[in-house]
Amino acid sequence: MSESFKYDGQKGHGGEVHQTPEAADQIMTTAQGCPVHDDQNSLKAGKHGPTLLEDHIMREKIFHFDHERIPERVVHARGYGAHGYFETYDNFSDLTCADLFQRKGEQTPVFTRFSTVAGNMGSPDVARDVRGFAVKFYTKEGNWDLVGNNIPVFFIQDAMKFPDLIHAAKQEPDRGFPQAQTAHDNFWDFASLSPESVHMLMWAMSDRAIPRSYRFMEGFGVHTFKFVNSAGEEKYVKFHWKPKSGLQSVVWNEALKINGADPDFHRRDLWNAIESGDYPEWELGVQVFDQSFADQFEFDVFDSTKLIPEEQVPVQKIGKMVLNRMVDNFFAETEQVAFCTQNIVPGIDFTPDPLLQGRNFSYLDTQTKRLGGPNFTHIPINAPQCPMRHFQQDGHMAMHNPKGRVNYEPNSWPRDEYNPRACPAHGYKSSSEAIEGDKLRYRSETFADHYSQALQFYKSQTPVEQLHIQDAFVFELSKVQTPAIRERVVSHLLNVDEALAKGVAEGLGLTTLPQKAEAAMETRTDLKPSDALSIIKNAPESFKGRKLGIFCCDGADDDVLESLINSIRAEGAMVEIVAPTIYGITTRDGKRIEGQQKIDGGPSVLYDAVALVLAKEKADEVAAIPQAKDFVTDAHAHSKFIIYNEEAMPLIKEANLEDKMDAGYLSTLKADSDAIVRQLRALRFWER
């Protein structure tokens, strides 16, 4: 660029712009690179005249704005992603020849996207919903997409039913609501007519569907896949992501209030964690088993409505994923990333799971539709980070085509990097499998048990979690207007657990129980509970990564605040100061502490535990603030630990909680801050 086009930001007489060499990288240009003189005013015929058609700068700007949006995903539209790496723990060549598992300590770049399933892009984060957990591994032998959920089973067994499931779960087409929730007639009508969904319904009504954070939830590959080693030996495998920070969810009333206070709660949590250097980590585990196990297992391992309990096939940890970098641009990366279950690498293969087979067909169509054509792999977030050599060419938005004269195969031209050949020795080979049978539409009789694992899941929960499941069924079904649909759901629950069914029926006000739904196979009662299926049983033994909200006011005790903040940070947790105003407070010793939240914008639902550090001279004034009372009463109702100093008692009394104080109230007079933090590691005081 010549110096005459370089802008120093200063205007001379008559509005002309002086240029300097130093500011070359600051000049605004059009998409064609033309420097822009004025980005605020359109070109007019006279000071008050009409806009001229020749204003190519405005035309380009408006044109691009008009075309900014691409079709949102039909499902998993509400998502958030981050970059990181996967590090393998050892050489696992005995299990698989997949390149990323061959060398101990090797790091493979990844991009991970978390999402809700049913809600649109603008829906709230903490809706009751399944969460997508999709990881793109940029391996040396191509991209591997492990596209899963935070729940190990699914609603349906065959992909033929997927459009119906999603149509039923989305907002009803005549009225366009409700969004991001299944509490309506269409979904429960479909579910009540699909007994195969019952196991998944138990998970969806559990606390798994309202996670506290992406960082504190598990991920699952859902389907059974295959590992194949270099000798051609095959094993079946199920994939698990285990969060190193442990499992944690919110309670339903809390979720409702979080969505009002911060609909971006999960996004903000992931952003803040990574930006602060508290990088989330998950360990990748595999359940590996052979055909003999599959033959003797109680259920069909290709049935996506079933899981394999970890007590029967332990999860072997083979590596860890660390997310350590947020995207540079949300649209370019998180919104344009294209996951496809068909994207696998040598050493990994599919199984006959009919839901997986349908996903392999569907995802490529979906990404082609969303991203405008077959060249979505040219978008940087989707491009492999290993060499690509093929004869695919042209199409919409082709960023690069093969070089040279050769664009077909076989050909007789010399072989080079622009004239590749298939490699029988190292190329991808599908595992061999003998298949024989008639062509027919059929559901295997081995898929017919719809209730036994639903009962196993329910028995595996703590009493608190079982109550939450019951309450969730009551809440959802209370939004269903058709009595027959509500009764059909209860009829299915009678095949799971009679006490659960009766509790739901009572919550709905049913005077008589319906007949038990006809079952293709009788519910097994001999399946043992699995502790791995419970969140509370797998809670962390640390407060690390959690957040304490400290509500304080002018005159607060410096020693109490400093000690508490230091102990929380030493634990690896976060602190936010909530104050009567966003200005913050001035402590007893005159120290100014800036507020991160104003009390009416920082409710206790945003925190894992709360502290009340008030001053005697301000206690009555603070106790009169309605939002301050809500701060305490919500924390109490949600079974959170409440730290308090004696000066906070007027607020506790004003909230009518003095007689309800229990061992979940932690006095700063009775224990030092380190001892208090040790109690916070339990996360909730469920005894309340």
Cis peptide before 420 (omega within 30 of 0): no
Asked if pLDDT for residue 8 goes beyond 70, the answer is: no
Which of 112, 114, 115, 113 minimizes the C-alpha distance to 137? Answer: 112
pLDDT score recorded for residue 13? 35
556 Rama sector, left if φ>0, alpha if ψ -120 to 50, beta otherwise: beta
Strand 219-220 to strand 225-228: parallel, antiparallel, or no bridges (unpaired)? Answer: unpaired
Closest to 253 in 3D by CA, of 628, 638, 688: 638
- Distance, CA of 162 to CA of 154 (rounded, Å): 10
CA dihedral sign, ordered 347, 348, 352, 357: negative
Read off the pTM: 0.92
3-state secondary structure of 548: strand
Provide the 10 A C-beta neighbour count for residue 546.
25
Place of tokens 């190329």: 427
Tokens 């699909």 label which residue?
194
| Percentage above 70 pLDDT, the chain | 96
DSSP string covering 349-389, please?
Answer: E----HHHHHHHHHHHHHHHHHHTSTTGGGSTTTS-SS---
pLDDT of 306 over the 70 cut: yes
354 Cβ contact partners less than 8 Å away, ≥ 6 residues apart: 157, 158, 159, 160, 302
d(CA 643, CA 609): 8
CB of 520 within 8 A of CB of 451?
A: no
Region 63-87: what's the mean pLDDT? Answer: 93
pLDDT for 549-585, tens place per residue? Answer: 999 999 999 999 999 999 999 999 999 999 999 999 9
Tens digit of pLDDT for each residue in 350-369? Answer: 999 999 999 998 898 889 98
Band of pLDDT at residue 19, cut at 50, 70 and 90: very low
Average pLDDT over residues 660-680: 96
Residue type, 55: D
Residue type present at position 506: E
- Of the candidates 143, 149, 343, 375, the residue annotated as catalytic is 149
Distance from C-alpha of 188 to C-alpha of 206, rounded to nearest angstrom: 16
Mapped onto helix, strand or coil, the DSSP state of residue 645 is coil
**Residue 391, pLDDT score:** 83
383 vs 215: CA distance, rounded Å: 26
Model confidence at 4, pLDDT cuts 50, 70, 90, reads very low
- Name the residue with higher pLDDT: 437 or 461: 461
How many CA atoms, within 13 angstroms, populate the side-chain half-sphere of residue 201?
A: 30
Question: How far is Cα 35 from Cα 57, in angstroms, rounded to an integer?
Answer: 10
| Least confident residue range of 3-12, 149-158, 173-182, 543-552 | 3-12
pLDDT, mean of residues 614-627: 94
All residues at 6 or more sequence positions from 120 whose CB lies less than 8 Å from its CB, including other chains: 72, 77, 78, 179, 180
How many whole angstroms separate alpha carbon 84 and alpha carbon 241? 15
Q: What percent of the chain has pLDDT over 90?
A: 81
416 or 146: which leads in pLDDT: 146
Q: How far apart are CA 88 and CA 146, in angstroms?
A: 16
H or E segment and range at residue 244: none
Residue-level pLDDT at 21: 47
Give the pLDDT confidence score for residue 18 in this predicted structure. 44
Average confidence (pLDDT) over 139-168: 96
Do the Cβ atoms of 288 and 314 come closer than 8 Å?
no
Angstrom distance (rounded) from CA 240 to CA 286: 6
Beta strands in 204-299 (DSSP E): 219-220, 225-228, 234-243, 281-289
Alpha-carbon gap, residue 196 to 451, rounded angstroms: 8
Task: Please give the full DSSP string across 420-461, using - where no structure is assigned.
Answer: ----TTTS--PPP------------GGG---SHHHHHHHHTS
Whether residue 650 has a cis bond before it, omega within 30° of 0: no
- Residue 349 CB partners (closer than 8 Å, separation 6+): 225, 226, 228, 234, 430, 431
- Whether residue 301 is predicted with pLDDT greater than 60 in this model: the reply is yes
d(CA 114, CA 135): 9
Contact 641, 609 (CB under 8 A): yes
Whether pLDDT at 508 is above 70? yes
- Residues with Cβ within 8 Å of residue 631, at least 6 apart in sequence: 551, 578, 599, 603, 604, 610
DSSP string covering 21-60: GGGGGG--B-TT-PBPS-SSS--BSSTTSPBPTT-HHHHH
Paired with 660 in beta bridges are none
Of the candidate ranges 37-46, 207-216, 242-251, the one whose mean pLDDT is the lowest: 37-46
Q: 161-190: per-residue pLDDT in tens?
A: 999 999 999 999 999 999 999 999 999 999
Please name the residues in contact with 684: beta carbons below 8 A apart, sequence gap of 6 or more.
638, 639, 640, 641
Across 143-157, 258-272, 405-419, 470-484, least confident range:
405-419
DSSP 8-state secondary structure symbol assigned to residue 73 = P
Q: Are 162 and 358 in contact (CB under 8 A)?
A: yes
* Cβ atoms within 10 Å of 602's Cβ, excluding its own: 23
What is the distance between the alpha carbons of residues 142 and 111, in angstroms, rounded to a whole number?
Answer: 14
Q: What is the pLDDT of residues 583-599, one digit of tens each?
A: 999 999 999 999 999 99
Is 12 a residue whose pLDDT tops 70? no
76 given a catalytic annotation: yes
Residue type, 514: P
Question: How many Å apart are CA 73 and CA 589, to the nearest integer?
Answer: 55
Catalytic residue from among 18, 48, 67, 76: 76
Are 116 and 151 in contact, with CB atoms under 8 Å apart? no
Cα–Cα distance, 360 to 354 (Å, whole number): 10
Tell me: pLDDT of 81 over 90: yes
The predicted pLDDT at position 23 comes to 59
- In the structure, what pLDDT confidence band is assigned to residue 430 with cuts at 50, 70 and 90? confident
432 pLDDT band, cuts 50/70/90, is: confident
Dihedral (CA of 460, 461, 467, 473) sign = negative
645 is catalytic: no
User: Identity (one letter) of the amino acid at 652?
Assistant: I
Beta carbons of 403 and 388 less than 8 angstroms apart: no
Candidate from 7-21, 146-160, 600-614 with smallest mean pLDDT: 7-21
- 315-326 pLDDT, tens digit per residue, is 999 999 999 999
- What's the pLDDT band for 422 if we cut at 50, 70, 90? confident
- The one-letter code for the residue type at 377 is T
In the 8-state DSSP scheme, what is residue 334?
A: I
Per-residue confidence (pLDDT) for residue 14, from 0 to 100: 38
pLDDT of the residue at 1: 35
What does the DSSP 8-state code read for residue 250? -
Bridging pattern class, strands 547-552 and 574-579: parallel
What pLDDT is recorded for position 24? 60
Q: Does pLDDT of 9 surpass 70?
A: no
Average pLDDT score over the chain: 93
Domains of the chain: 3-66 (4.10.91.20), 79-182+210-378 (2.40.180.10), 450-536 (1.20.1370.20), 541-680 (3.40.50.880)
DSSP state of 335: I
Which letter does DSSP use for residue 167 in this model?
H
Residues forming beta bridges with residue 593, ordered by sequence position: 585
For residue 59, what are its two tokens? 């035309």
Residue with tokens 């976060």: 574
Cα torsion 494, 489, 450, 535: sign? negative
Per-residue confidence band for 7, with pLDDT thresholds at 50, 70 and 90: very low
pLDDT at res. 420 = 86
Going by pLDDT thresholds of 50, 70 and 90, the confidence category of residue 437 is confident
Instruction: Quickly count: other Cβ atoms within 10 Å of residue 141's Cβ.
Output: 17
Q: Residue 531's pLDDT band (boundaries 50, 70, 90)? A: very high
The answer to whether the Cα torsion of 145, 151, 153, 158 is positive or negative is negative
In this structure, the number of other CB atoms found within 10 A of the CB of residue 516 comes to 15
Beta-carbon contacts of 175 under 8 Å, excluding residues fewer than 6 positions away, are: none
User: What value does the mean pLDDT take over residues 137-162?
Assistant: 96
- For residue 532 the two structure tokens come to 């791995």
Q: Length of the chain in residues, anyone?
A: 688
